[in-house]
Amino acid sequence: MILLVVVVLTALAFDFTNGFHDTGNAMATSIATRALTPRRAVLLSAALNLVGAFLSLSVAATIAKGLVDADVITLEVVFAGLVGGIVWNLLTWLVGLPSSSSHALVGGVVGAVLAAAGTSGVLWEGVLAKVLVPALIAPMVAIAVAATGTWLVARLTRGLPQDVTSRGFRWGQVGSASLVSLAHGTNDAQKSMGIILLALITAGAVPADSGVPFWVILSCALAMALGTYTGGWRIIRALGKGLVEIDTRQGMAAETSSAAVIMLSSYFGFSLSTTHVATGSILGSGVGMPGATVRWGLAGRMLGAWMLTLPAAGLIGALCFWVQHGVGGVLGSVLVLGILLASAAAIWIASRRKPVDHTNVNEAWDEERGAGIEPVAATTGEAGPLHVAPVEAGPTTSAAAAAIDSVTVGVGAAGSSAAGGTPNASGKGTAE
């Protein structure tokens, strides 16, 4: 019973990390175009994620019963899988990398099952049909839909004054960003519901054919909303400022495209990566807008990270299971819990060295800094510009960030730039 409680709380912790990791999927473009202030954006997104969690349970059923063999599942396996998903989410958040929380969770659970029971414990047909195929198709569909929508909007508004279009489309962005947040709640909040249901079935607390209890739905919805409200500013910055120099017309087209694809996948029960969809939509808005600049180098590095998410989270999940199994009993689970807490604390401490928050999330994107030239401690005087001392390019010095640098070759560009600060128009910089 104690282990079951720990697993449930860990699943809610994953939902919290999923919330702040994916806030940018809905609100990055609205914040970048200043259609919404950063704080209002995350509050609106949190409220709509909460509502969306109650609208559908198809994805929860996929996670609970469609990916792994329930006969080989134990609470230790579920716990190890959750730790794999959380640690990967935190590492990618640290470097400002918009990777998939959904794939981190699936990868962690599948990795733990492989460590516990081998390949026979994984329902490969379900993984292929419900996870891998949507992961390939969804970004392509999102790019096409967003590019088409952006091109049509650009044609229809050609010749209109920019202030008129900006004002009108800012209101449109509020509506489209709200729709993405609602859609995100219908998809991502359910993943932890499915994991908790799987744990309850494994522990014998509910029948094997049970639906998701209401208290599980409510607790997951609240955890997701709370995580969303904390912001996840590093991811927001990478999506809103790094990929495309975006205007309000592009922002509305990208958000509408994301909402349509996510809600369609929720209807069919696909465990879709909302990050893949949102990133594809933002890229599509750049492709469809004449004269827009798309940073394909950064997009390529994100793609490389997406390919690493399933195996990397799976490896962490497998290692955690082996630790539990090797030590055995309660002590093994306590040791894995300690690993999770220590990793989270180290990553949080590392993030405080170069914080990104609502005050500097819209700083201009610096491609050089994204390539690895990072500022060190900076101060601002009452008069005079910000003085920043550059350091040599190289991997982040913290142990937690070094771990991800070792597996995400060349992917750190988004994060280092996301963490950086630049002087503002007045000459006074933002101290970080």
Give the whole-number percent of the chain exceeding pLDDT 90: 20
Q: Is the pLDDT of residue 182 over 90?
A: no
Mean pLDDT for the chain? Answer: 78
- Give the separation between CA 102 and CA 189, rounded to whole angstroms: 10
Q: Output DSSP code: residue 375.
A: B
Q: Is the pLDDT of residue 171 over 60?
A: yes
- Give the separation between CA 432 and CA 427, rounded to whole angstroms: 15
The domain segmentation of the chain, as residue ranges, is 2-351
Range in 51-60, 156-165, 305-314, 351-360 with the lowest mean pLDDT: 51-60
SS3 content of the chain, % helix, strand, coil (to 5): 70, 0, 25
Query: What is the pLDDT at residue 271?
Result: 61
Query: What is the pLDDT at residue 396?
Result: 39
The predicted model gives 265-272 an average pLDDT of: 68
As given in the structure block, the two tokens for residue 138 are: 């969804």
C-alpha distance from residue 400 to each of 87, 93, 104, 396 (Å)? 10, 11, 17, 9
Q: Is the pLDDT of residue 72 over 50?
A: yes
Closest CA to 27 of 233, 207, 236, 202: 236
Residues 374 and 356 sit within 8 Å (Cβ to Cβ): no
Residue 340: pLDDT band (50, 70, 90) is very high
Query: What is the pLDDT at residue 431?
Result: 38
The predicted model gives 16-37 an average pLDDT of: 86
- Give the separation between CA 176 and CA 248, rounded to whole angstroms: 11
Residue type, 71: D
Residues 237 and 158 sit within 8 Å (Cβ to Cβ): no
Q: How many helices (DSSP H) and strands (DSSP E) are in the chain?
A: 18, 0
The predicted model gives 43-47 an average pLDDT of: 92
The predicted model gives 307-316 an average pLDDT of: 93
User: In this structure, what are the phi and psi dihedrals at residue 356, rounded to the nearest 5 degrees?
Assistant: -120, 130
Q: Is the pLDDT of residue 224 over 80?
A: yes
C-alpha distance from residue 339 to each of 80, 242, 254, 277, 342 (Å)? 11, 33, 39, 32, 5
232 contacts: CB under 8 Å, gap ≥ 6 = 19, 20, 21, 22, 23, 24, 93
Residues 234 and 93 sit within 8 Å (Cβ to Cβ): yes
The predicted model gives 210-220 an average pLDDT of: 88
Query: What is the pLDDT at residue 295?
Result: 81
- Give the separation between CA 86 and CA 93, rounded to whole angstroms: 10
Query: What is the pLDDT at residue 61?
Result: 60
Residue 36: pLDDT band (50, 70, 90) is confident
pTM: 0.77
Query: What is the pLDDT at residue 427?
Result: 40
pLDDT in tens, 406-423: 444 343 333 433 344 444
Closest CA to 196 of 177, 180, 165, 217: 217
- Give the separation between CA 24 and CA 361, rounded to whole angstroms: 11
